[in-house]
Structures are given as structure tokens and as C-alpha cells.
Chain A
């Protein structure tokens, strides 16, 4: 006879399912390992100093971290009420309607592709000196990038992700090296001493601050992904928020500290000059004076493995993005299929690889710089896209809770989301105004308005496409924002 479940009797089903669930530390590890900290510290931060020529990056990481933490209050609260707590566009679709959702999906697709493709440039630039030291031969950067590209393409279609344990070991090693470098930098300050100039809020009130904000946002990309694990976490109400806040705090603290430590070692007045001279080697050159060449060589190797892990991670993220949109039929259905043997989202993976190949070859033919014009432009362009998505999501959170309070308190519905949205709006405006500084080009350079307007065009095309879908294929339209769960929606009548 069936026995009525009682609180004292353990639930065998819930127990069996909880056995392999994730706790907050595991989720933080997933989030951070995809963010590849050494890629940001050794690649993004130094290049940002070189390209923008301004030094307020350390305080910018803290400021953006604070804004994102306030934003996350409403974001994780809304995640609890979503059937499909996935990417930003699902929130935008739910909060602001499906046309906005489709527009956001296209913006996101462009942004993530840009982030991924940019990494190929950094890999080429960072691996060239290593190969040169080991073999004495100095290959062109694009050759190494193409080797990495080929590996990533094959691994992507075969669905061989970097093993979670290996990623965790790499992440730990990266963070250890970053902290070691920070200690070394701070222990051997330039004549300016332990200057706090770059950490003072005053460093934000300079022309071109928008460039710092975009760069800092780029460092945080991936913080949003903790919600993806809500169905697999031990206690979604606690695990996901804890992991999200912890990720933001760790990223903000680590990057602000490292960006500041570099300026201590060179002196705030000389960091730009050093970064322009040494490029991807900057942090290694700075640290070499304190740490000796063995440690620095280990760090250089870790930088390359960090980039490689980031490439695979972003490649898979992008391929899954294609997959989710294919499942909803927002993209052709072929993107929603997988390779049976491996479960790899094949079409999305191939599409990403084709784009990467074209970009690498294009840059090689045109003789453009892999670090600045591919990695940094791609990264900041993608980072700007993510900033737009975060901003739109912050509005969506407010709109969603104003319609459906869902039992959340006023702090989560309004008191945190509204200031977050306001701050993000300011960041977007500053970013657009200061785009020439992001790219390091003079005011009025066409690139500085072409790049941001790509997202505008994508959004407009997305809205038009939404209208086409609504009138032509209402069943498809009704599924937008559901991701893989689109399969469970019957038809428009429901």
C-alpha cells in the first residue's frame, strides 16, 4: 500500500536527484573558469591601458562590480520565476515582449561571437613569443591562431569540453599566479610608491571614462551564467544568488587588485607607456624584475592555456546559443539539432568556426594587429554588446515585477533594480560617447560609430523579424524565449 509521505520519512526521489546537485562553490568554479582570469589580467587589462591611455581601470572594476551586484538582486529574483532561466534574451523576452527578446538574441549572438573570435587574436599574440623561445622559430601569429582554431573546431563538433577538474586546476593555478604577481608588483613599487591614485573614484572623472566601463564590463562577462545551473543546484533559492554575488565580488576584487598592482610597479604615470611598449608581454616584463624568469615562464604558459580554455568555453557557449535559438525556430531548425554520437550542437559549432576562420584569414591578409585590433576590439565590442544586454535586462526585470510581483519584496522588485537600471543607462551613454577612446582612434573616426551601430541594426532587424514571425508563423512566435523548453509549447491557442 502507498504510504503517505511524511516529513520524517525521507523522499527517495528527491534524495536520488539531489545526490549529484551542485553547491554554490561548484557553480562559482564553473562561472570563473569560463571567465579565464589570466586572460583578462594579462590580456584585457594591459591592452586597455595601452589603447585607451587612461589609468582608472582598477576603480572601474570596483564601480562596475557594484552596479552589477545591485543589478543581480533583481536578476536572480526574476530567475526564480522563469521556466527557462538561461540567457539574457529570455529575460528581455519575458519582461519587455518577444520583439525585444528576438532583438536581444541577435545582439547576444553577435556579442558572443565577437568575444570568441577576439580570443584567437590574443592566442596568436601570446603564443608567438613562447614558440620562439622554445624552438627559435618565429611563426606569424595567424599560423598559431589557425592551429588553435582547428583544435577548437574539432573539439567543438566532437563535444569534448575541457574536463571540469582540469579547468578547476587551471583556474586555481591562474589565480595563484595572478596573486603572486600582485604581491611582487606591490613589493617592488616604482618611485611613486604605493599610490592609490588609480583606485580613487576621482580616476573615473576623466575624459574617456566610458572606455574603462566597457573594459571592466568585459571582465565580468560570464557572471550571468550561474542562473543556468538553477535546475541543477542543491537549493536554487540560495545557491544561485550566492554563487552570482560571490562571482561578482571575486572578479571585482581580483581584477581591481591586479590592475592596481601593475600601476604600482610601474608608477601610475608610466603604465600606459609600459603597456604600449610590451603588449601582451606587459605583466610578464613587469614581474620578471621581481620574480625571475622561471616563474614568469610558467605564467606565460598559463596565459596561453587560459586563453585556450576561454576559447573552448566561449566556443561552446556560442554554439549553445545558436542551439537554443534553433530549438525555438528563431534561427533555422538545423541549429536546434545535435550530432547523435556526441550531443554536440553541430550546426552552431560549425557556424562559429567558419566565422572564426574568415576573421583570422581576413586579419592576416589585411595585416592587422592581433592583440589590439582583433582581441581588444573584438573583446570590447562584445563587452559593449553584453553591457547593452545587461541594461535591457535591468529594464525587463522592473517591467516584469511591475506586472507580476510574484511575492518578491520591494527591495528585489524596485529598490535595487531601478538604481541599477539608471546606473547602467549612464554606463551605456558614456560607452557610446567614448567609443573612440575604446578603440584608441581620434574623435570622428568612422569605426567608432560603425561598431556600436551594428547592434542597433541587429536590434532593428530582430524586431522586424519578430513582426514577420508574429504574422507568418504565430506558433514559432509564441515559443520565443523558452529555449529548449520551446518543445513543450503546443500552439498559439494556449
Chain B
């Protein structure tokens, strides 16, 4: 699912087991992806700043259904930014939980410093690197993207990770140009959603405190 793929792009599960992205950006990107999963399945839509419920029918996946239920049960909150902030609080636990359940991830808890970040390692190499490989190839070879990958690319870009995905500096100008065209052609709800993630990430940089 989309949030799983975003996690695998943003977390170095095949090397150090540490995140490639700072925590605030990571959790906001994951929150955007969790909403995105429901938008792609026509359960929700985003229009301007509003998040609207279209259909309460469950997806039969516990994290997505819990998110959908939360949104359906609080109709007084329609602001996308409110939901991004709310979901960001638990998005990392939700998504790693999902990947641990299906056995794609292993968690290593630091022995000495308990407060330090858990490390996550992929159990299989191929599936773990596939999302970022797929994005890189599509962007560099200028291949058409389906809505799912468009949104993944948009969220990755909103979190400032495009250059992390396109490792070769020579390929970056091509990739950036093509990405801009892809983003411009994205369906409106996906475009609005990724823009809010981008703004939330930017605001997090501006109000950063320790």
C-alpha cells in the first residue's frame, strides 16, 4: 500500500536500518500517504483545504480502516492540515506495524539507549528497494506513471526526497523536469493533498524547536 511504499523509500531498510528523512517530515509524509491510500480507493477526496468523506465502506485492512473510521467519526474536522497533524502522531507506528505484521520488516530495538529510534530492516531485498527503484526508473526514463505512483512521487518530492531517490546527479535535471510535468498532470485531489503535505513539511521546518 502507498504508505508502505513511502516508508520503504524514506527508510534505509536494506542498509543502516535508520531513516533517510528527519522524523517530522517522515511522519507527515506517512500521514499524507495514509490519507492518499483512502483517496486512491475513492473513500475520501481532497478539494482545496477540505478533506471529504465519500464512502465509509472498509478496505479490509486494519490501519486504513482505522483511519477511515476516525475521519468518518469526526465530521466536524474537515481541514486536511488538521488530519495530517493528527495522523502524523501515530503514522510511523501504524505503518511499521503493518509491515511487521506481513513480515516484510524486522525491528531492532537499541539495547543501551532505549529512547533512541528503533531500527528497521527489510526481510527481503527486492520488495524493499522496489518502490524507490520504480520511481527512479520512471522519472529518469520518463515513463508514464499511474495515479498511485504519481502520488508516491508527489509525496516523496513534498518531503524533499527526490534527490535521494534519483541518486545520480546527472539524471536529476531530467527527473526534475519530468516530475514537474507529472505533478502538473495529476488529478486534482491528489495534487491538493500533496501540496498540503508540502506546506506542512515546510511549516515544520519554520517552527522547528527542540
In the complex, A178→B21 CA distance in Å? 41
- The one of B70, B199, B208 in contact with A13, judged by C-beta atoms closer than 8 angstroms, is B70
**List of B residues within 8 angstroms of A162 by Cβ:** 210
B20 to chain A, nearest CB (A): 6
Residues from 1 to 51 in B contacting A, C-beta threshold 8 Å: 19-22, 24-25, 49
Q: Which residue of A lies closest to B204 (CB)?
A: A343
In the complex, A231→B25 CA distance in Å? 17
**List of B residues within 8 angstroms of A232 by Cβ:** 207
Task: Using A17-B86, A487-B195 as known contacts, say yes or no to A231 and B203 having CB atoms under 8 A apart.
Answer: yes
Task: Using A162-B210, A164-B210 as known contacts, say yes or no to A484 and B205 having CB atoms under 8 A apart.
Answer: yes
In the complex, A341→B24 CA distance in Å? 11
The answer, yes or no, to whether B104 is at the interface (CB within 8 Å) is no
Q: Which residue of B lies closest to A319 (CB)?
A: B205
A120 to chain B, nearest CB (A): 23
In the complex, A229→B203 CA distance in Å? 11
**List of A residues within 8 angstroms of B89 by Cβ:** 16-17
Q: Are B76 and A485 in contact (CB under 8 A)?
A: no
Q: Are B21 and A340 in contact (CB under 8 A)?
A: yes
B181 to chain A, nearest CB (A): 15
Q: Are A340 and B210 in contact (CB under 8 A)?
A: no
- The one of A11, A161, A340, A488 in contact with B159, judged by C-beta atoms closer than 8 angstroms, is A340
The answer, yes or no, to whether A481 is at the interface (CB within 8 Å) is no
Q: Are B206 and A320 in contact (CB under 8 A)?
A: yes
The answer, yes or no, to whether A89 is at the interface (CB within 8 Å) is no
B192 to chain A, nearest CB (A): 8
Q: Are B195 and A488 in contact (CB under 8 A)?
A: yes
The answer, yes or no, to whether B161 is at the interface (CB within 8 Å) is yes
Q: Are B207 and A487 in contact (CB under 8 A)?
A: no
The answer, yes or no, to whether B136 is at the interface (CB within 8 Å) is no
How big is chain B's contact interface, by range? 35 or more
Q: Are B198 and A338 in contact (CB under 8 A)?
A: no
- A232, A316, A337, A487 interface centre (most CB from chain B within 10 Å): A487
Main secondary structure of the interface of B (DSSP, over half): helix
Residues from 63 to 77 in B contacting A, C-beta threshold 8 Å: 70, 72-77
The answer, yes or no, to whether B110 is at the interface (CB within 8 Å) is no
Q: Are A340 and B160 in contact (CB under 8 A)?
A: yes
The answer, yes or no, to whether B96 is at the interface (CB within 8 Å) is no
B71 to chain A, nearest CB (A): 9
In the complex, A162→B86 CA distance in Å? 27
In the complex, A487→B201 CA distance in Å? 10
**List of B residues within 8 angstroms of A17 by Cβ:** 82, 85-86, 89
In the complex, A163→B89 CA distance in Å? 21
- Report the tally of A-B residue pairs with Cβ distances under 8 A: 105
**List of A residues within 8 angstroms of B196 by Cβ:** 487-488
How big is chain A's contact interface, by range? 35 or more
A252 to chain B, nearest CB (A): 25
Q: Which residue of A lies closest to B90 (CB)?
A: A16
Q: Are B206 and A324 in contact (CB under 8 A)?
A: yes
- The one of B21, B164, B198, B204 in contact with A487, judged by C-beta atoms closer than 8 angstroms, is B198
Q: Are A231 and B210 in contact (CB under 8 A)?
A: no
In the complex, A298→B205 CA distance in Å? 35
**List of B residues within 8 angstroms of A13 by Cβ:** 70, 74, 77, 82-83, 86
- The one of A86, A343, A487 in contact with B22, judged by C-beta atoms closer than 8 angstroms, is A343
Q: Are A228 and B207 in contact (CB under 8 A)?
A: yes
In the complex, A316→B210 CA distance in Å? 13
Q: Would you give the 0/1 interface string for A201-242, flagging 1 where the beta carbon is closer than 8 Å to chain B?
A: 000000000000000000000000000110110000000000
Task: Using A17-B86, A338-B160, A343-B24 as known contacts, say yes or no to A484 and B74 having CB atoms under 8 A apart.
Answer: no
Q: Are A484 and B203 in contact (CB under 8 A)?
A: yes
**List of A residues within 8 angstroms of B160 by Cβ:** 337-338, 340
Q: Would you give the 0/1 interface string for A327-346, flagging 1 where the beta carbon is closer than 8 Å to chain B?
A: 10000000011101111010
- The one of B22, B158, B192, B210 in contact with A161, judged by C-beta atoms closer than 8 angstroms, is B210
Q: Would you give the 0/1 interface string for B124-157, flagging 1 where the beta carbon is closer than 8 Å to chain A?
A: 0000000000000000000000000000000000
In the complex, A228→B205 CA distance in Å? 12
Q: Which residue of B lies closest to A345 (CB)?
A: B205
Q: Are A323 and B208 in contact (CB under 8 A)?
A: no
The answer, yes or no, to whether B189 is at the interface (CB within 8 Å) is no
The answer, yes or no, to whether A12 is at the interface (CB within 8 Å) is yes
In the complex, A123→B63 CA distance in Å? 52
A124 to chain B, nearest CB (A): 27
The answer, yes or no, to whether A2 is at the interface (CB within 8 Å) is yes
The answer, yes or no, to whether A367 is at the interface (CB within 8 Å) is no
- The one of B25, B76, B199 in contact with A343, judged by C-beta atoms closer than 8 angstroms, is B25
Task: Using A5-B76, A487-B199, A488-B196 as known contacts, say yes or no to A338 and B86 having CB atoms under 8 A apart.
Answer: no
A180 to chain B, nearest CB (A): 28
The answer, yes or no, to whether A401 is at the interface (CB within 8 Å) is no
Q: Are B210 and A163 in contact (CB under 8 A)?
A: yes
Q: List 27 A-B contacts (CB under 8 A).
A: A2-B75, A5-B76, A13-B70, A13-B74, A16-B89, A17-B82, A86-B206, A159-B208, A162-B210, A228-B206, A228-B207, A323-B205, A327-B202, A338-B25, A340-B21, A341-B21, A341-B22, A342-B22, A345-B205, A483-B203, A484-B198, A484-B201, A485-B199, A487-B196, A487-B199, A487-B202, A488-B199
Residues of A within 8 A of B (CB): 2-3, 5, 11-14, 16-17, 30, 86, 159, 161-164, 228-229, 231-232, 316, 320, 323-324, 327, 336-338, 340-343, 345, 483-488
Given A228-B206, A487-B195, 17 extra CB contacts under 8 A:
A3-B73, A13-B70, A13-B86, A16-B86, A16-B89, A161-B208, A161-B209, A161-B210, A232-B207, A320-B205, A323-B202, A338-B22, A342-B22, A343-B208, A345-B205, A483-B202, A484-B198
